[in-house]
Chains A and B, each alone.
Chain A
Amino acid sequence: MNGFPLVSVVTFLPLAGAAVIAFVGSDRLRAIRSVALVAALADFLLSVPLLTRFTGSSAGMQFVEKVPWVGAIGASYHVGVDGISLFLVLLTTFLTVLSVAASWYSIASRVKGFMMAMLLLETGMIGVFVSLDLLLFYVFWEAMLIPMYLIIGMWGGPRRVYAAVKFIIYTLAGSLLMLVGILVLYFMHHGATGEYTFDLLRLYGTAIPRGVELWLFLAFFISFAIKVPMFPFHTWLPDAHVEAPTAGSVLLAGVLLKMGTYGVLRFCFPLFPAASVAAAPVVSVLAVVGIIYGALVAFAQKDVKRLVAYSSVSHLGLVMLGLFAFNAQGLEGGILQMVNHGISTGALFLIVGMLYERRHSRMMEDFGGLWKTMPVFAGLFMVVTLSSIALPGLNGFAGEFLVLVGVFLKSVPFAAFAALGMILSAVYMLWMFQQVMFVEPRKRDAPALADVTAREKWILIPIVILVFWIGIWPGFFLSRMHASVDAVLARVWSAGLAGEVARDAGGRGGAAAPDVLQAVSTEAAPDSASAGMTPDVGE
């Protein structure tokens, strides 16, 4: 597909879809919904070639497009995907299709605006993942806030306005400081090389004095930490999740939160390797606090949606912990876990939405005994729940196990806490499932609920397929990450810190360290060597 701007088409097709919807009369609901679904579906199908034509052995960016944009200041329209962003792009296009389908009837007012906002949001999200230019990235990163603000604020629950304002102010607070960080980095690069550029790949090599590097790291990291959200920046998340409509929650949990972890991996690590390593202990402690705290608070919830929201705090804490282990297992597990969390939690929000549509409540006490009347639903719900608590053979296990291995190589106590978090997640998820599906219904007069409709079934089945696919054959996904992950690790290691990290990992007898060092020394990441580093789970 030489010369065909695949990434740009995938990025902007939803925007075109939104433009088409703008010209459809606002009372032609069916036409609006169909256009939105067709646009989302077409975008997903177009994004599949990104996967099939992706060269897994290459660490470089693929499908690259680069044209000057704001030439005078060295900003270009530079997009591409690598093993890190590839799956997040696919996750975005996949979840958007499901979200549009899930909103088919549940969004009944101002359908036109909703569908346009969804498609604009999709363009923004994909843009964030494919941008290789800091300015372009920043434009997508912020532009995406407006549609999400509208989705929460216009179609959300009773406290939607509070949640929407909190969401936008929190996220902007971080990202505006990141903008200053970007500018400082930009001028430092110019000072060092005499070249003005926002090109990420060129900025990777910028030499930054240690003291400044820590500040720049913080400017970027806090912005990402708010998005993830890491404890103690998480307070916007439960509000936003609970108030957002189902589709908003799915995309918020499934994709938006991943922007934070993706940002850490794409920007913080390679741009500020020394500061990242230096900050790792603090970040790891915060991540562990997030894991335990999120799990405990989730256990205390009566509202299913709130429970799922807090479980995200816990799960993403685990992802962060894996990333800051700085070894191949931790990073690959982290990336896989980003995708898994997007699938599982997205599915959980979809399921909560289906329950809410039936009973107009999300309180556990209003449900119970549903398995009798909704057997198919119960089965699908069960798979998703088990995937979320990482049952072996399902997707969650592959990711969480790798993260645990990575963290274990780095530090046994942290690994112990992470394992505790996983146990807690099993506790609250199974408890929730029991309360909703099994126990005797507490409201006896409530009418029996109907089982899933064909539409709902077709929303959940693709998810279940993915859950098994990733769980049984994670190697398919991991093999496409190796090269890119090794490149990131090589950059972190070559920052003069190899000694520090090697002492850490080597002391534990970790197998990863020599391999990564080898990758550094040869500059290229041989696929065979890196494949050997990762235990192929379930293969």
Chain B
Amino acid sequence: MNEYALGQGLWEMGFAAAVPFTLVALSAMAVLLADLWLLPSQKRALPWAALAGVLLSAASVAFLWNEEATGFGGAIRLDRFSAFFAMVFLLGTGLVVLLSSAYARREGVERGEYYALLLFGTSGAMLMASAVELVTFFLGLEILSVSLYVLSGFFRQRPASAEAAAKYFILGAFASAFLLYGIALFYGASGSTTYAALRESFGSAAFPYSHGLLALAASGLLLIGLAFKLGAVPFHMWVPDTYEGAPTTITAYMSVVSKAAAAAAFIRVFGASLSSLQQDTSAVLWVLAVVTMTLGNVVAIAQTNIKRMLAYSSIAHAGYLLVALTAAGEAGYSSVLFYVLAYVFMTLGAFGVVSLVRKGEGGADAGAEALDISHYSGLAGRHGLLAAAMAVFMVSLSGIPPTAGFFAKFYVFSAAVRAGEVGLAIIGVLNSLVSVYFYMRIVFLMYMKEETVPVRGSRSRAGWVALAACVLGTLLLGVLPSSFARLATESIASIF
């Protein structure tokens, strides 16, 4: 068999579908190996190696952009949908790597494992988005989760970090168990674990009633598992502690990649395969959306730690995503995709600023992270650019135009109104109003208060590049959302 035929054979087996995340996983291993050979003084090369892996994988996704393939016995699928999410994950990972390059060194966690685990996590997320079979999806979820358990406890010396990891792990394990039980029930009801089989079994109106009950129970369990990953109320207990204790760059990664991956899996399972159950799920989702938005926004007001505030804000944003998922339909799901993309820029940007702001000279703990929101007082006077960037992200997170956050919410609420959920849209906009209060408080502190604790911004060039990219992305999506929205619609169309 010559090489060409081998390639041809692999292609026909759908190997193409595995290329993007395999490349990320391989780069992870390369980073691990490189870590063994590099001298301590050369460890600075690690983030660039990881970034190279991300870019390589992104190039492969771009190359396969118009391809469609199903591989490994119908376990994974490459389509516009998985390509879109792969790009989102890779974008998020790339930005996190850039932000980490200075942060990890300063915090003394610059080791090969850090970047390798980031890349492994990303490969897991990509697997989740491209899986069309429940066990494969679970595999992806676990790869992502295990990486995150370790990463959130990466400050081994700090109790808060250990607490973050322990809480995340224990509750995450619970959630995985629910999920797995749901998968088992699906298997029992339909005799298969592929999404296609699910659609066939439950898609026709004529499936036996007992199977219908099984499917409902299975959906409920699966929903719990995904809601945990999304950080939706009442499965959100881990979010504030984990977000606060984990290294800031990892928090950023978690809030973006993990949430997006859960949303992707949700759309594939519930949107594309179990749409016949939509009436039952949407009632549950409606309630989840309302309590998630409301609790997230209201509790965020009371926070004094900026990471905790952003944690509750991320719960609230999970609520907006749930509004879109409740609305369902192509409009609802494509608004999820747009939201996720906007969310990458604005949330990573906000956490990025947090990771760059440090306590200044004079205090006992100079150079430590400045995490209290009072540290942001007067930031505009000393670090105009940093403050301006943060202001853009805060405006965007509160959904005020002309920023990405506005159109993200606009698409979500317009999907809700289109689906006839005007009440949900009204609750959503009122929640946005609440959120303005605590996001604008950061702007107010930065611009309208005098400095209380001296702080300084890191001069990390890589970090600044990442921030600039986030600002540009936030504004671009806010002024010219058209082509990105079209991308989202096409991606959704590819799975229906």
Contact = CB atoms under 8 A, between A and B. Distances in A.
A138 B413 CA distance: 14
B432 interface: yes
B436 A154 contact: no
A135 B485 CA distance: 15
Contact of B444 (A71, A164, A179, A187): A164
Interface residues of A, number: 35
11 contacts: A69-B480, A69-B482, A135-B410, A142-B400, A146-B395, A150-B447, A172-B433, A172-B436, A183-B413, A183-B414, A183-B418
Contact of A72 (B406, B413, B443, B485): B485
A183 B425 contact: yes
B437 A165 contact: yes
Interface string A145-174: 110011001100000110011001100110
Nearest to B411: A73
A38 interface: no
Contacts of A113: 380
A180 B413 contact: yes
A177 interface: yes
A323 to B, nearest CB: 27
B437 A169 contact: yes
B38 interface: no
A153 B433 contact: no
B401 A143 contact: yes
Interface in B363-399: 380, 384, 395
Contact of B429 (A139, A169, A176, A184): A176
B436 A161 contact: no
Contacts of A26: 384
B447 A154 contact: yes
A186 interface: yes
B55 interface: no
A424 to B, nearest CB: 35
A73 B485 CA distance: 10
Contact of B422 (A149, A176, A184): A184
A401 to B, nearest CB: 40
Contacts of B432: 172, 176
Contacts of A142: 400-401, 406
B401 A139 contact: yes
Contacts of A183: 413-414, 417-418, 425
B400 A143 contact: yes
Nearest to B395: A146
Nearest to A190: B418
Contacts of B486: 72
B400 A70 contact: no
Contact of A70 (B430, B443, B481): B481
Contacts of A150: 443, 447
Given A70-B481, A70-B482, A142-B400, A169 B447 contact: no
B482 A153 contact: no
Contacts of B440: 149, 165, 168
Nearest to B448: A153
Given A72-B486, A186-B414, A165 B444 contact: yes
A71 B482 CA distance: 7
A113 B413 CA distance: 34
A138 B401 contact: yes
Interface in B398-412: 400-402, 406-407, 410
A177 B426 contact: yes
Contacts of A153: 444, 447-448
B437 A179 contact: no
A176 B426 CA distance: 8
A71 B384 CA distance: 36
Given A70-B485, A176-B429, A168 B436 contact: yes
Interface of B: 380, 384, 395, 400-402, 406-407, 410, 413-414, 417-418, 422, 425-426, 429-430, 432-433, 436-437, 440, 443-444, 447-448, 480-482, 485-486, 489
Contacts of B425: 180, 183
Contact of B406 (A71, A139, A169): A139
**Which of B433, B448, B481 has the most chain A CB atoms inside 10 A of its CB?**
B448
Given A146-B395, A184-B417, A176 B447 contact: no
A169 B436 contact: yes
Nearest to A70: B482
Nearest to A139: B401
**Which of A113, A160, A180 has the most chain B CB atoms inside 10 A of its CB?**
A180
B400 A146 contact: yes
A173 B447 CA distance: 23
Nearest to A138: B401
Interface in A382-434: none
**Which of B417, B432, B481 has the most chain A CB atoms inside 10 A of its CB?**
B417
Contact of B482 (A72, A149, A161): A72
A72 B488 CA distance: 11
Contacts of B418: 183, 187
Nearest to B489: A72
Contacts of B485: 70, 72-73
B384 to A, nearest CB: 8
A161 B444 contact: yes
A172 B429 CA distance: 10
Contacts of A154: 447-448
B390 to A, nearest CB: 13
A73 B429 CA distance: 20
Given A70-B485, A72-B482, A179 B400 contact: no
A172 B433 CA distance: 7
**Which of B402, B437, B440 has the most chain A CB atoms inside 10 A of its CB?**
B440
Contacts of B426: 177, 180
Nearest to B407: A70
Given A153-B448, A168-B436, A180-B429, A73 B401 contact: no
Contacts of B406: 139, 142
Nearest to B431: A176
A-B pairs, top 7 by smallest CB distance, nearest first, are A176-B429, A139-B401, A183-B417, A70-B482, A153-B448, A143-B401, A183-B414
Contacts of A180: 413, 417, 422, 425-426, 429
Given A179-B429, A184-B417, 6 more contacts: A72-B485, A135-B410, A143-B400, A176-B432, A184-B422, A186-B417
Given A164-B444, A172-B433, A176-B432, A187 B417 contact: yes
Contacts of B429: 176-177, 179-180
B484 to A, nearest CB: 10
Contacts of A139: 401-402, 406
Nearest to A185: B417
A129 to B, nearest CB: 17
A172 to B, nearest CB: 6
Contacts of B422: 180, 184
A143 B402 contact: yes
A5 B417 CA distance: 35
A247 to B, nearest CB: 17
B5 to A, nearest CB: 44
B457 to A, nearest CB: 17
B491 to A, nearest CB: 13
A69 B444 CA distance: 33
Interface in A67-100: 68-73
Interface in A90-139: 113, 135, 138-139
Nearest to A219: B426
A149 B400 CA distance: 13
A138 B443 CA distance: 22
A161 B448 contact: yes
Nearest to B334: A72
